[in-house]
Chains A and B, each alone.
Chain A
Amino acid sequence: MKITYNWLKEFLDGSDNYSPQDIAYKLTMSGTEVKKLEYVGEKYKDIVIAQIISFVKHPNADKLSICKVNTGKEILNIVCGAKNFKVNDIVALALEGAKIGDFIIKKSKIRGEFSEGMMCSEKELGLSPESDGILILEGDYILGESFAGQTGLDDWVFEIEVTPNRPDCLSVVGIAREISAVTELNLRYPEYENYNNAAADDKFKIEIKDFKLCPRYSAKIFSNISKSKTPFWIRNRLAICDIRSIDLVVDLTNYVMLEVGQPLHAFDVDLLATNKIIIRPALANESILAIDGTTRMLDENTIVIADEKGPVAIAGIMGGKNTEINDNTKNVFLESANFNGPSIMKTSKKIGLRSEASNRFEKKIDPHLTITAIKRFEELLKHITGQKFDNGIYDNYLEVNRERLINLRYNKIKQTLGIDIKDKVVSQILEKLGIKNKINEDYISALVPSFRFEDLEREIDLIEEIARIYGFENIAACELESKFRQGKYTYNQKTIEDIRLALVNSGFNEVINYSFIGLKEFKFFRLDEENEFKNYIKIFNPLNEDFEILRTLLLQSLIDDMKNNIVKKINDLKIFEISKIFLKNDLDKNGLPIEITKLAVLISGRSNLKSWNSNERFFDFYDLKGILEYLFEKFKSKNGLFISNNEYKFFHPAISGNINFDDEAIGIIGKIHPRLTNILDIKQDVFYFELNLDRFIKKSKKEKKFNSIPQFPSISIDLAIVIDDDTTSKDIEDEIYRNGGKTLRNLRLFDFYKGKQIEEGKKSLAYSLEFGADDRTLKDVEVEIISKRIIENLSKKFGAKLRQ
């Protein structure tokens, strides 16, 4: 919300002078944050009031005139392109050095004629989006004085953030009240003493169908309004506050709304079908052509203002086109009403229309404002037109008690804030906020006024008021002792942190992606055909189609990251992500999905660049598997890990499997299907695994225990065998371990061969076996017996032959 310094000063009395900066600071530190403070007059430096005394046509240009302009001190020669002026017109003259937009005025020759400045249009002055010719000022102005000073633009604008609990602050008066609470200034509330309070005649009928939807509806008819323009200073104030000038009546409704906080709406009385206004829920299938030219469909949740023919306005949001104020309007029906906040909020959300008015109604404004606003409107209109409007005000109001008594205990203040304040100090703060109160021994009884009825309900609400006006900076920081507590990570958190660190230390970069992907992408990876991943959660109101569903697999995001990097010519990637995936779960009592923390690891490109001492090498599947083994070894033991074949649609059919931990499948591993990389325009192999970290951590949890270090040396032997290609390395290793017994300390595959030197359909594996015992040095003959047994069994079960 924007309001100006001079406007605020109209409602504040006091001898002390507070600069705009002082005010901004005091407001900010008492909870009404001033986001920005700007001097409006800055833009109008070196622009003065001047009068045209004569002009002639430019000798060299048909469309230009040469004017003599009086600045009060001198007569200047000005070349001008506009046509809308005559002799004696008062204008805004930009002198040398003035800045119009990005353009600095200089004395110059235009088509051979000397020009010493520029007469400005409203558009050039930033006062209106469009303008026709230069600005001609009407009224009394002093020649030579600064333009800003003479037109209400020598002012400061505050950009204020009003929190949603303070609808009373959505106005100049409201902010002035806040200022009065934190300064020595007093609020000067307008009284309109000369107002004729007579009731209106019954020519017009107002009917409220449901006081819940509309607690109060006040209105007044202003007849035969004489045609007048909105005074320039009012238009300027509105412009500073980002409100466009329309015509006098509409401008005044906006002006009063900003000043008092009560939205107003003006209808052309003569365009209303009947002399009856009904405030009611819309009927199903009813519609209205709104002021913005769009036809809006209504439903029974929308409150409308209707005459007996149909809706003439969507209550609190927008008026109807057919009863809009126009050039021919003479008689105005001014509505000043109070509508149900939640209902306005729903409607405004539903039709996607938020306005200054709806914003105020949503937050529940004080129904007492309706009459004040009408009086203020009338005062301004009277002042501008010189007319009198003596008929009374229509007022439909089901009055409810809007005062509340709250007891505020001093010990509760101390308990919450840690400060010991009571009696007068507390009483004065409340007084300044407009809350009447009475001091008692242990507490103060406070009477909350109507304008704070919505947000001051409980003792704690008053404590907050005390705190913010007393000043947070006056409450001392106080150490919170922690000697009896011990902070810590859970085992899960610690392990995830360790896994992250292990990967980072081995050269991986951690990525974080959005939790959502597009359904198109989902189908593209054929996840809808995979039982494990197909049960996705759909977002009911997604941002766009790229963010439609929650991830059931992290793969797509990492592929995206990879593509983004490849575009930037970064082709060699080692990345990982630790994030949750979401699966539909109808069984959970809240209907919440299953959330599983996953670790996704992707490698692609080169593992080694060609260097003076090493060769280029590309990542392969076994690099990826190595990472997995590294993690298993760090957190449990490599022996628990087993990869089994299992085809996933997004993996290469032969290089696709499950990661098993003991006997449980807890992840997937493979090479991205060449069909996918082709379509995605990725020209390199991509390897990927994804691990269920929740399960991995649960299964790997173990007590750390000391094992004594072997005292006796090992004996190593090598064993090279030839077997059928179909037999897996895992089969062979399992068999070796089975026969090796306790003495087999370690097993390492040091050679793998397939090719011409052996029979087709066979492969050769060469292992290094390390034997040892805990209680003695093994004898060679013992090892020979064991290795013989191993060879016999390998031969028997797998047809293995020793390779010579």
Chain B
Amino acid sequence: MEEKINSLKNELDEVFLSFIKDKNEVKSLFDLDLLESKYLGKKSFIAQTLKNINDFPQQIKPLVGKTVNETRKKIEDDIKLLRDDFTKVEYDKKLREEKFDLTLPGRTLTYGSKNIISQVIEEIQEIFIGLGYEIAEGPEVETDYYNFEALNHPPDHPARSLHDTFFISENILLRTHTSPVQIRYMEKHKLPVYIIAPGKVYRKDYDVTHTPMFTQIEGLAVDKNINFGNLKWTLETLAHSVFGKDRKVRFRPHYFPFTEPSAEVDVSCNICGGDGCRVCSGTGWLEILGAGMVDPNLYKFVNYDPETVNGFAFGMGVERIAMLKYGIDDLRLFFENDIRFLKQF
């Protein structure tokens, strides 16, 4: 039986070789029709073999069918390709007559826009999630305790006058910064604490450079063995990531009641490259955020041990970051919600 199959295979190989030879001689569609009829037509070897398949012993019939069909498929494909070679020029010529204007506009799908404030928050959150921080939240209407007292602003503290506060009642107010989240979070969590807290804050101030509501992002890292060098590394990483690796970053000593030492952080001005221009008021630097080591006093409010625990905190204005990053020159645009502004981002 194996002999029979082998002999069939030999015959098929010969048929195919002959087909290849004949194929090379084909010069027209007419020749191709003849070729097709010769190798696949009723009288062809392939058709005849399949027609008389019952002459083979029962066991090898499937193998015979498979073997023959393989050759038939090869021949069929070659013929299809050859036919396409002969017809495609004519076909294209016909299709080309159907003129079609590719330049007409497509069906409109309008895109929307995530608010630029949301985008900047998201960008900064992603950076810190990458550094192992979680996102924390807190109420926008706060008690005096969380907004001031537990942040080292006792009632008569002069730093309170830096915040023009909206009050609801004597002890309840609209938070003037996102820093209360620091206290609320530490009260409820043990070490280590690594959080970012974005949110709206309110100050009674309304002019070209102030809106009564704006957005801040607070950061807090409290652990064992955290020092000022770590704060510098973290904020340099942030500034480079938001503004670009080529920008210089500097830390200036400053004062905040709830950090000690405190710093303000500047990036080099991208408009003048540090030489001084109108945007940076001639200093070559643009202030982007405030930061510092958490004042040990705060740990007393949340029952941490100030002798063994260290940490840093920082806070930035989202609108300010957006203005510097995108060159927006008017703060009021953020809350006017002009669609032409929103759509740019």
Point out residues on A near B: beta carbons under 8 Å: 28-31, 33, 35-37, 163-166, 341-342, 345, 349, 362-364, 414-419, 458, 460-461, 463-464, 467-468, 472-473, 475-480, 482, 484-490, 493, 497, 500-501, 503-516, 537-543, 547, 550, 561, 564-565, 568, 570, 573-575, 579-580, 582, 590-593, 595, 608-609, 611-614
CA distance A31 to B132 in the complex (A): 31
CA distance A568 to B257 in the complex (A): 45
Instruction: Choose among B192, B212, B337 the residue that contacts A543 (Cβ–Cβ < 8 A).
Output: B212
Q: How far is the CB of B283 from chain A (nearest CB, A)?
A: 8
Knowing A416-B293, A467-B261, say if A485 contacts B132 (CB, 8 Å). yes
Q: How far is the CB of A36 from chain B (nearest CB, A)?
A: 6
Knowing A507-B109, A539-B168, A592-B172, say if A479 contacts B261 (CB, 8 Å). no
CA distance A475 to B264 in the complex (A): 15
> 24 pairs across A/B with beta carbons < 8 Å?
A28-B252, A164-B158, A164-B159, A362-B161, A363-B158, A467-B253, A472-B263, A477-B233, A477-B236, A478-B233, A480-B131, A480-B234, A482-B131, A485-B132, A485-B133, A487-B128, A488-B135, A500-B114, A510-B342, A513-B335, A561-B337, A565-B337, A568-B338, A611-B107
Q: How far is the CB of A260 from chain B (nearest CB, A)?
A: 20
Asked if B185 is at the interface (CB within 8 A of a chain A CB), the reply is no
What residues of A have a CB within 8 angstroms of the CB of B204 in the complex? 541, 543
Contact indicator B112/A477 (Cβ below 8 Å): no
User: Please, how many residues of chain B have a CB less than 8 angstroms from a CB on the other chain?
Assistant: 89
Given pairs A489-B125, A507-B112, A537-B168, 18 additional interface contacts (CB within 8 A): A29-B252, A36-B281, A164-B255, A345-B161, A417-B227, A417-B261, A464-B260, A472-B263, A477-B233, A482-B194, A509-B112, A509-B343, A512-B335, A512-B337, A515-B174, A574-B110, A593-B141, A595-B141
CA distance A37 to B283 in the complex (A): 9
Contact indicator A35/B111 (Cβ below 8 Å): no
Stretch of B2-10, B48-56, B78-86, B115-123 contacting A (4+ beta carbons < 8 Å): B115-123
Contact indicator A564/B227 (Cβ below 8 Å): no
Knowing A345-B156, A478-B227, A480-B233, say if A570 contacts B261 (CB, 8 Å). no
Point out residues on B near A: beta carbons under 8 Å: 104-105, 107-115, 117-118, 122, 125, 128-135, 137, 139-143, 155-156, 158-159, 161-162, 166-169, 171-172, 174, 192, 194, 200, 202, 204, 206, 211-213, 221, 225-230, 232-234, 236, 250-255, 257, 260-264, 281-282, 293, 295-296, 310, 334-340, 342-343
What residues of B have a CB within 8 angstroms of the CB of A514 in the complex? 211-213, 335
What residues of A have a CB within 8 angstroms of the CB of B251 in the complex? 472-473
CA distance A595 to B175 in the complex (A): 13
Instruction: Choose among B143, B167, B213, B250 the residue that contacts A592 (Cβ–Cβ < 8 A).
Output: B143
Q: How far is the CB of A455 from chain B (nearest CB, A)?
A: 9
Contact indicator A550/B141 (Cβ below 8 Å): yes
Knowing A472-B251, A501-B114, say if A341 contacts B335 (CB, 8 Å). no
What residues of B have a CB within 8 angstroms of the CB of A575 in the complex? 337, 339
A540 — nearest CB in chain B belongs to which residue? B167
Contact indicator A509/B342 (Cβ below 8 Å): yes
CA distance A593 to B175 in the complex (A): 13
What residues of A have a CB within 8 angstroms of the CB of B158 in the complex? 164-165, 341, 345, 362-364
* A-B CB proximity, top 4 nearest: A31-B253, A485-B132, A342-B156, A418-B227
CA distance A570 to B110 in the complex (A): 15
CA distance A515 to B226 in the complex (A): 37
Contact indicator A574/B112 (Cβ below 8 Å): yes
CA distance A146 to B251 in the complex (A): 41
Instruction: Choose among B112, B141, B296 the residue that contacts A506 (Cβ–Cβ < 8 A).
Output: B112
CA distance A541 to B229 in the complex (A): 42
Knowing A479-B233, A543-B206, say if A487 contacts B162 (CB, 8 Å). no
Contact indicator A564/B143 (Cβ below 8 Å): no
Knowing A510-B112, A510-B118, A564-B338, say if A590 contacts B166 (CB, 8 Å). no
CA distance A35 to B280 in the complex (A): 10
Contact indicator B141/A29 (Cβ below 8 Å): no
CA distance A570 to B156 in the complex (A): 50
What residues of A have a CB within 8 angstroms of the CB of B192 in the complex? 485
Knowing A342-B156, A461-B260, say if A570 contacts B228 (CB, 8 Å). no
What residues of A have a CB within 8 angstroms of the CB of B255 in the complex? 31, 163-166
Q: Which among A476, A515, A580 has the greatest number of chain B C-beta atoms within 10 A?
A: A515
Contact indicator B105/A463 (Cβ below 8 Å): no
CA distance A412 to B115 in the complex (A): 45
Q: How far is the CB of A470 from chain B (nearest CB, A)?
A: 10
Instruction: Choose among A35, A460, A497, A593 the residue that contacts B260 (Cβ–Cβ < 8 A).
Output: A460
Instruction: Choose among A468, A493, A568 the residue that contacts B135 (Cβ–Cβ < 8 A).
Output: A493
Knowing A475-B232, A480-B233, say if A504 contacts B114 (CB, 8 Å). yes
A547 — nearest CB in chain B belongs to which residue? B212
Q: How far is the CB of B99 from chain A (nearest CB, A)?
A: 16
Contact indicator B252/A467 (Cβ below 8 Å): no
CA distance A416 to B295 in the complex (A): 10
Instruction: Choose among A417, A487, A611 the residue that contacts B228 (Cβ–Cβ < 8 A).
Output: A417
Knowing A497-B122, A543-B206, say if A463 contacts B337 (CB, 8 Å). no
Q: How far is the CB of B197 from chain A (nearest CB, A)?
A: 11
CA distance A703 to B252 in the complex (A): 49
Contact indicator B342/A511 (Cβ below 8 Å): yes
What residues of B have a CB within 8 angstroms of the CB of A163 in the complex? 254-255
Contact indicator B227/A416 (Cβ below 8 Å): yes
Contact indicator B310/A416 (Cβ below 8 Å): yes
A455 — nearest CB in chain B belongs to which residue? B255
Knowing A418-B227, A475-B232, say if A510 contacts B335 (CB, 8 Å). no
B203 — nearest CB in chain A belongs to which residue? A543
Knowing A472-B253, A487-B131, say if A512 contacts B260 (CB, 8 Å). no
CA distance A220 to B172 in the complex (A): 47
What residues of B have a CB within 8 angstroms of the CB of A564 in the complex? 336-338
Q: How far is the CB of A479 from chain B (nearest CB, A)?
A: 5
Q: Which among A363, A364, A493 has the greatest number of chain B C-beta atoms within 10 A?
A: A493
CA distance A349 to B161 in the complex (A): 9
Contact indicator A590/B172 (Cβ below 8 Å): yes
Q: How far is the CB of B229 from chain A (nearest CB, A)?
A: 3
Instruction: Choose among A484, A487, A515, A590 the residue that contacts B130 (Cβ–Cβ < 8 A).
Output: A487
Q: How far is the CB of A183 from chain B (nearest CB, A)?
A: 16
What residues of B have a CB within 8 angstroms of the CB of A561 in the complex? 337
CA distance A165 to B160 in the complex (A): 12
Knowing A509-B113, A574-B112, A613-B107, say if A539 contacts B174 (CB, 8 Å). yes
CA distance A40 to B156 in the complex (A): 38
Contact indicator B112/A540 (Cβ below 8 Å): no
What residues of A have a CB within 8 angstroms of the CB of B132 in the complex? 482, 484-487
Q: How far is the CB of B115 from chain A (nearest CB, A)?
A: 4
Contact indicator A485/B194 (Cβ below 8 Å): yes
CA distance A545 to B168 in the complex (A): 15
What residues of B have a CB within 8 angstroms of the CB of A608 in the complex? 108
What residues of A have a CB within 8 angstroms of the CB of B194 in the complex? 482, 485, 487
B173 — nearest CB in chain A belongs to which residue? A540
Q: How far is the CB of A406 from chain B (nearest CB, A)?
A: 14
CA distance A335 to B46 in the complex (A): 126
What residues of B have a CB within 8 angstroms of the CB of A538 in the complex? 168
What residues of B have a CB within 8 angstroms of the CB of A511 in the complex? 115, 337, 342
Contact indicator A580/B232 (Cβ below 8 Å): no
Contact indicator B295/A460 (Cβ below 8 Å): yes
Contact indicator B167/A504 (Cβ below 8 Å): no
Q: Which among B132, B137, B211, B221 has the greatest number of chain A C-beta atoms within 10 A?
A: B132
CA distance A614 to B104 in the complex (A): 13
What residues of B have a CB within 8 angstroms of the CB of A487 in the complex? 128-134, 194
What residues of A have a CB within 8 angstroms of the CB of B250 in the complex? 29, 472-473
Q: How far is the CB of B190 from chain A (nearest CB, A)?
A: 14
Knowing A463-B260, A497-B122, A592-B142, say if A515 contacts B129 (CB, 8 Å). no
A354 — nearest CB in chain B belongs to which residue? B161
B343 — nearest CB in chain A belongs to which residue? A509
CA distance A165 to B254 in the complex (A): 10
CA distance A54 to B10 in the complex (A): 133
